[in-house]
Structure 1
Amino acid sequence: MTGFFGGGGVCTHCRCRAMVPLKRRRKDGGAAPIAGVQERAPVNRFPGVEIFLLERRMGSSRRAFLTQLARRKGFRVQDTLGDSVTHLVSESNSGDEVWEWLDRQTGGQTPGSLSLLDISWFTDSMETGRPVEILDRHRLQVSAPRSDPEEPRISAYACQRRTPLDHLNKIFTDALEVLAENAEFSESEGRGLAFRKAGSVLRSLPFAVSRMEDLRGVPCLGEHSRKIIQEILEDGVSGEVEGVLRSERYRAMKALTGVFGVGVKTADRWAREGLRTPGDLLTSGHRLSREQEAGVRYYEDLNCPVTRAEADAIGEIVEEAVHSILPGARVTLMGGFRRGKEAGHDVDLLITHPEEGKEEGLLGKLTSWLDSQGVLLYQRVSEGSGGRGRESGPMDHFHRSFSILKLGEQPGAQPGASSADQTQEAAAPRGQGGAQGRGWRAVRVDLVICPYSQYAYALLGWTGSQQFERDLRRFASQERDMSLNSHGLYQREQNRYLPAASEEEIFTHLGLEFIPPPQRNA
């Protein structure tokens, strides 16, 4: 037999030895018990040992196979978590994640005698044919004891934490952001995500970290992140972070990825060729895409933060155009501005109409109107299907225009105001000045058209933050067996989509406390 079993009767996934001949194993099949059929009570060779296999991340079919394997060897395995369970076995879950799951199941009354074990204990026990001694390597490590009910617990999911815009640990989060960005410049997405998760949880803390003991019980802080935090606490700065900021490669990657339409792979190739600034691209002889040409042309403007007043002005221009084409349509300012930010790197506008279907064809008419008014400097249209997908990935399928718009008067701008120093250092292409002196500036704008039936989900998905949305999708999948994206929430067990007229309804579907946009700055 191939696939799940090796030729010698060994489970290749966890190395358990299946002590049943091949022919008999084919007969048993490892299938779950048939509903309504009474099974013969399994023999219990080891009184005082009752196992519960946590299905989370293990999967139902694998759990059923391991349950039958253990019962054949004389172990008692319970199908449900009860007071008699002594050994809870988990696979690919951290101790904190298992504690959170337990607390939800028991209402915080988890028995202290329950052992939380990694699958390695189960594997060793199956190989020896008896319950082995529980060693440290078998135990799931928990960040902090849960015995004190008064100690506040912090969720590992950003969607279960309230994260305000202004927080108390900026010195640490800024450092971790640099390391995350540098890791992503090296295409090490895993390391980058680890630093971002650590920064995210620090943003949610209601206190300023002043000693390492303050982090007891705080999830998502890996060894590397803790080292950086400790270094800052002791020295005021991190030598590693300062080294990254001085690195020529980091500075080059920062400048080159700041060009609209340039990703990490392209920027890395250019940096290896010796290019350091967008201005270098004009003299290098490289052939640029239309998007990249626009990115170089308006580099200084696009790397200067967009103020809230400017975002509102762009919103008014677009809203005027939309209403002239489709009266009654709704235009909503999204992204960081909806979360309360006073500045951002672009403007996201979500457009819909209460009468489903009327939004069809709106995007082409809208961009034509903007072009006729001399407002549209660049656009790339993505003709999405507009339909739902069952996968919980971050990409949606809405009709969308990635645009650069021309904003005339800059509301709230100070006379003589210009881009940040680091943007000026990057050197805009010769002959291409910024907004200063010409009376207008270029602004990155995403125009997104969505059907009204999907508006609540699009509203949630396009509000952010990125980490909040990532954890919301992860929570839906891992904790609720659902698939969430900007189109809808798919319930796998019942094979259906759950309608929602508001963000609050979506949180209710997921069994989560509603968190308003200003508290989603994870």
Structure 2
Amino acid sequence: MLFPGTEVEGRSLGSINPTMSQLPVRKRRPRGLREAAPPAMREDPPVRFPGVVLCLVEKRMGASRKAFLTNLARSKGFLVEEPSSERLTHVVSEGNSGDEVIEWLKRKQNGCVDAGGSNLALLDVSWFSESMQAGRPVEIEPRHCLTVTVSAEKPQDTWLAAAYACQRRSPLPNNNQLLTEVLEDGTSAEVETIRQSEKYQTMKLFTKIFGVGAKTAHQWYQEGRRTLDDLRGHPAQLSKEQQAGLIHYEDLNTPVKRADAEAIGQVVREAVNKCLPGASVTLTGGFRRGKPSGHDVDLLITHPVEGQEAGLLKKVIACLDQQGFLLYHSVHRNTFESLEDSDQEPSSHASSMDQYERCFSIFCLGDLLGDAQEGAGAEKPSRVRRTSGASRFWKAVRVDLVVTPYSQFPFALLGWTGSRIFERDLRRFAKREKKMLLNSHTLYHLEQKTWMSAASEKEIFQHLGLEYIPPEERNA
């Protein structure tokens, strides 16, 4: 209720018409909510300098700043076109070298740029700023120009390595052997100082123990331990895996020969077929790539009937243990979620690259295996001596048994064959170039949101648009 004498917006209510005072007060629309007038149609400003066609390099400049500078240039009467335009005369960059600008233009499919960019003015953003301030293209001075130090064109007889290891063949005998002899035999005072230090030698000793990583080795070093005997004096502080690794330290740090790996593979194959006829066992890792020796033996187990492999590993382990082949073993269950039950994209993180059911074991390779192979002309397993000096005819070997469903076997085979660099680059290529996630279980298309099945390694390469590279040429 309003009373006489009250002021509204500086006026006394006494001066207000009594009739008007009975009407409801209309609320004023806040200024921020007033309807804006429709924008007036604006025509593009006329082109004042037709002989100058600009291109702004978005790399390091950013999309927002590029858009702002583009509008500014056009408002001043400059022509600004896309990097693929054949009419470009001036290329403006911020924070890039001349070589980087040339490579950027080539990736944008500009067919006019030559080896040194001499047919284009490669300019720093300072020229652009001065031109905008002057309202016209200023004269190009040396300080405005970007320096080109390398030629983009190479002689026809020059061989260029592919960007990814999965795009090139890497056989064991290679053209770089002379160079790598130089790398292995060369010395560096700084490097040698570190290698001869007590900490480095201790870390190297401890990390060779089965089940010991850099973190545990560093902890032991901090506690004042320096030798294997220091660890043997406190067995209760070691895991069962580490205790086994310490007991068989000498054997496990002796290279495993191909004959030994094939002998172990045959023993496991017999145990697998005894537990599940029709199942297959495949030797992977460096031995599949043609290496004559390695640090352990990796075996993939599968069955052509999907689901038949379930529960197989425990039966095989029991069979091998009963025959006295296992000195140590630990089983890890399959933690990979089935594709049918998963509604999330697979992860490419290293910790989730392989989640198969597996057994990490130390195998007892004895004389019995050598006798069984002598008729076939195979090399007899190595004779190993005990630390006490007494000889024995068996050796401890690291063996990984991995069970995979048949539908995932090609991905597991590819992942477990290696090499580590080849597999790393293969996954990088899949994600960066093909928008796919590849791991040892499957291949997933990120844009199409689909799982890519494959019946062989060759089909995986086909999905990625790569030439198939056989195992013996994956030694990157």
Report the TM-score, using the length of structure 1 for normalisation: 0.65
Cα drift, residue 377 of structure 1: 1.8
AA of the residue aligned to 1:50:
C
**Are 2:282 and 1:277 equivalent residues in the alignment?**
no
**2-structure distance, mates of 1:249, 1:137:** 51
Q: Which residue of 1 aligns with 2:73?
A: 74
Shift of 1:98: 9.0
The Cα shift of 1:111 comes to 3.8
- Does structure 2 conserve the Cα–Cα contact (< 8 Å) formed by 1:336 and 1:464? yes
Query: What are the residue-to-residue correspondences of 1:63-462 with 2, within 5 Å?
Result: 65=64, 68-74=67-73, 81=84, 83-84=86-87, 87=91, 102=106, 111-112=114-115, 145-167=152-174, 169=176, 173=180, 237-284=187-234, 287-387=237-337, 390-394=346-350, 395-409=353-367, 411=370, 412-413=379-380, 433=387, 437-462=391-416
Give the match for residue 513 of structure 1: 467
* Change in 2 beyond 3 A, CA 1:114/1:140: closer
Q: CA deviation at 1:308?
A: 0.3
Deviation sequence 1:190-230 (CA, Å, 0-9, x none): xxxxxxxxxxxxxxxxxxxxxxxxxxxxxxxxxxxxxxxxx
Report the count of equivalent residues. Answer: 404
Within a 5 Å distance, the mapping from 1:491-510 to structure 2 comes to 491-510=445-464
Shift of 1:391: 2.0
SS at match of 2:318: helix
Q: How far has the Cα of 1:269 moved from its partner?
A: 1.9
1:476 CA drift (Å): 1.4
1:72, CA displacement in angstroms?
3.0
> Structure 1 residue 114: deviation in Å?
5.0
Secondary structure at the counterpart of residue 292 of structure 1: helix
Deviation at 1:306, TM superposition (A): 0.6
Distance change (3 Å), C-alpha of 1:490 and 1:128: farther
TM-score, normalization by structure 2: 0.71
In 2, are the aligned partners of 1:402 and 1:447 still within 8 Å (CA)? yes
Is the 2:326–2:361 contact (alpha carbons within 8 Å) kept by the matching residues of 1?
Answer: yes
For 1:43 and 1:148, how far apart are their aligned partners in 2?
45
Shift of 1:97: 13
Contact preservation (8 Å) 2:206, 2:217: yes
Per-residue CA deviation, residues 164-194 of structure 1 (Å, 9 max, x unaligned), is: 21335457647868xxxxxxxxxxxxxxxxx
Q: How far is 1:268 from its partner?
A: 1.4
296-305 or 75-84, larger mean C-alpha shift: 75-84
Q: Which residue of 1 aligns with 2:17?
A: none
| Residue type of the alignment partner of 2:362 | I
Matched, 1:490 2:444: yes
Deviation at 1:397, TM superposition (A): 1.5
In structure 2, relative to structure 1, the CA distance for the partners of 1:238 and 1:316 (3 Å cut) is: same
> C-alpha distance in 2, partners of 1:87/1:521?
43
Letter in 1 for 2:346: R
Q: What secondary structure, in the 3-state scheme, does the structure 1 residue paired with 2:278 have?
A: coil
2:407 aligns to what SS in structure 1? helix
- Taking only aligned residues, the RMSD between alpha carbons, in angstroms, comes to 4.3
Q: Which amino acid aligns with 2:192?
A: E
Pair member with larger Rg:
2
Q: Which runs of 5+ in 2 are unaligned?
A: 1-31, 33-42, 340-344, 371-378
Change (3 A) 1:493 1:414: closer
**Is contact 2:172-2:473 (8 Å) kept?**
yes
Cα distance in 2 for residues equivalent to 1:383 and 1:91: 51
Deviation for aligned residue 1:109: 9.3
Q: Quick check: 2:271–2:319 contact (8 Å CA) kept in 1?
A: yes
In structure 2, the partner of 1:14 is: none
For the residue of structure 2 that corresponds to 1:249, the secondary structure is: helix
Specify the alignment match of 2:373 in structure 1.
none
The answer for the alignment partner of 2:5 in structure 1 is none
Once the two structures are TM-superposed, the CA of residue 112 in structure 1 deviates from its matched residue by 3.1
Residue by residue over 1:407-430, the C-alpha shift from the partner in whole angstroms, topping out at 9 and shown as x without a partner, is 112643587556xxxxxxxxxxxx
Would the alpha carbon gap of residues 324 and 70 (structure 1) be closer, same or farther in structure 2, given more than 3 Å must change? farther
Letter in 1 for 2:213: G
- Partner amino acid, structure 1, of 2:347: E
Q: Partner residue of 1:196? A: none
Q: Is the 8 A contact 1:175 1:241 kept in 2?
A: no
